[in-house]
Amino acid sequence: MHKKSVGKTKQTSKNETRQERYPRPAWLPKGVVEEEELCPECFKVVGDRSRYKLVCMLGKASEGMTVGALTEELKLKQPTVTHHLQILKSVEAVEVVPQGRERVYRLNRDAHCFEECKIPY
Ligand SMILES: [Zn+2]
């Protein structure tokens, strides 16, 4: 995905498909994210301020959090929180762990966005 191109003159058509880049959102701490532009997956994760807040909250909650707890903390409507969580799930930034009748959301620290692109949380 994020292969570093080695300085060879040979051009493979596959490598040249440039990935779309998105500008770094203002609420993302500068200096932590080295790149000024984000890949589409990372932009999905942090492209919305509340969604990024959600990521930070989950980053601090090692045990994970339920939608209910997240809703309360973020002071958003539950469908909104669920919507954000679904987007995060679509890029594997969070994982869902069933716990009794509840579903607990945890940050997937091995996700591309955190491992490779170093999105802070
Ligand atoms: Zn990325």
- The CATH number of the domain holding residue 103 is 1.10.10.10
- Is 8 part of a structural domain of the chain? no
Residue 80 lies in a domain: yes
The secondary structure of the chain in percent helix, strand, coil, rounded to multiples of 5, reads: 35, 15, 45
Residue 2 confidence (pLDDT): 54
- Cα of 120 to ligand 1 centre, how many Å? 12
CA–CA separation, 20 and 29 (whole Å): 22
pLDDT of 79 reads 97
Residue numbers of the domain that contains 61 = 22-115
* Residue 4 belongs to a domain: no
Q: Residue 120 domain-assigned? A: no
Q: Is residue 16 part of a domain?
A: no
pLDDT at 20: 85
Cα–Cα distance measured from residue 102 to residue 6, given in angstroms and rounded to the nearest whole number: 48
Contact 29, 120 (CB under 8 A): yes
Tell me, yes or no, if the pTM score tops 0.85. Answer: no
**99 CA from centroid of ligand 1 (Å):** 30
| pLDDT tens per residue across span 66-119 | 999 999 999 999 999 999 999 999 999 999 999 999 999 999 999 999 998 889
Is 2 part of a structural domain of the chain? no
The total number of structural domains in the chain stands at: 1
For the residues 11-20, what does the mean pLDDT come to?
56
CA 97–ligand 1 middle distance (angstroms): 24
User: Could you tell me the distance, in angstroms and rounded to a whole number, from the CA of residue 115 to the centre of ligand 1?
Assistant: 9
Q: How far is the CA of 16 from the centre of ligand 1 (A)?
A: 17
Rounded to the nearest angstrom, the gap between the alpha carbon of residue 20 and the centroid of all alpha carbons in its chain is 16
State residue 28's pLDDT score.
87
